[in-house]
Amino acid sequence: MYCVFLPINGGSSSRWQDRIEGSVAEGAALARHTTYRVGGPAKYLVVPATTDDVREVFVSGEDTFVMGAGSNVLVADAGFDGVVLKICNTMAHISVQDGEVVVGAGRLLPSLVNSCVEMGLSGMEWAVGIPGTVGGAVCANAGAFGSATWDCVDYVGVVTADGSCQRLGAADVEHGYRFADFPVVGPFAVTEVAFRLAGSDVGRVHALTEEYKARRGATQPFGAASAGCVFKNPTEGPAAGELIDKAGLKGLTRDGAVVSAKHANFIVNEGGAAAADIYDLIEEIREAVREKFGVTLELEIKLVGDFHRG
C-alpha cells in the first residue's frame, strides 16, 4: 500500500524509545518489510501498538516515514536515516458501531474483506487481492475494478505532527484517482477508518469477492515480489500497462528486476535485484514510453530514501 514521508523538525526527546509499547529496532533491514524484498536499513523501525506510540514517534523530532505493509514502496539500497513507522498487523481492530465498520489502520485489506464477507457487508470486495493496509489504502485512495477506497469512507482518525488526534470526515479530505489530500499541517498518520457498507446476502458478497480474486489472478503476477502497479494510468488514452506493452518492454530485465510478461505495469523482483536495479528499470520504461508516445508516466509507488548516491 501507501507511505508518506514525514519530515519533522526539532530536537529529539530523550529516550523516546523507552516509552513505546510496541517494538523498536535499530538498523533493521527494510528488505524484510517490503514486498519488493529490497531496501537498506532504517535508523529505527517502530511497529506501534497504540495511538500513543504514534504520538511518541511524532514528537521525538526524528524524520519519520509512515509505512503500511510495504506493498507500494521502493526503498533505496542505502535505507532511510530516520524512523520507519510501520502500522501493519497491529492497531488492526475491527468492530461495527452505529451501522459502520470501524477498522484500525494496520489491518490488511484482505482481512477486512474476509470480515465483511462473514458479516454480509458489501462495498469492499474489490480489495480482496490488494496486499496493503487500511491506512495505506485511505492515503492512496487505492482502488480496483472501477471502485476506490473513498467511495465508502465516512471518517478517518489521524495523529498529526504535534501529537494531536483529529477525526476527518469524507467531506474534509479532497480525493480522486490514487490520491487523498488531508487538510492537516505537516506530517500525519491514519490510525482508524470508518466505512459505510451496504448489508447484503453473505453468499452474494462471497461470490463477488471470489470473482474479483479470480480476475486479479488471471491478469496480474499474483504472489510475485512486486509493489503492484508501478505507474498511474494517464488521465486520457491507453492505460500505463498498455503503453508499456506497446513499447515492446515486456520481459525487459535489469539484474533480476523484470517487466512482468503477465501485466506490463508490474516490475517483479525475480531474485537478486537491488533497489537500484528496479529504479533504473523504472526510468528506462518512462523514457521509452515518453519517446514513443509522448506520455510521461507518473509513479504510483512511492520512493523512499536517496536513489542518486554515487
End-to-end CA distance of the chain: 29
Look up residue 299 and give its three cell numbers.
Answer: 509513479
Helix (H) or strand (E) holding 155: strand 153-160
Query: CA 89 from chain center: how many Å?
Result: 14
* Residues annotated as part of the active site: 178, 229, 300
Q: Grid coordinates in use for 54?
A: 504514534
Q: Is 20 helix (H, G, I), strand (E, B) or coil?
A: coil
Determine the Cα angle at 67 with ends 257 and 105, to 5°: 130
Q: Is 250 exposed, middle or buried (0-12, 13-18, 19+ CB in 10 A)?
A: middle
* Residue 34: alpha-carbon gap to chain centroid: 10
Which phi and psi (to 5°) does residue 239 adopt? -70, 160
> 3-state class of 288 per DSSP?
helix
Cα 60 to Cα 68: distance, rounded to the nearest angstrom: 20
3-state class of 254 per DSSP?
strand
Q: Bin 21: left if φ > 0, else alpha if -120 < ψ < 50, else beta.
A: alpha
Cα radius of gyration rounded to whole Å, the chain:
19
> What is the C-alpha to C-alpha distance for residues 71 and 57, in angstroms, rounded to an integer?
22
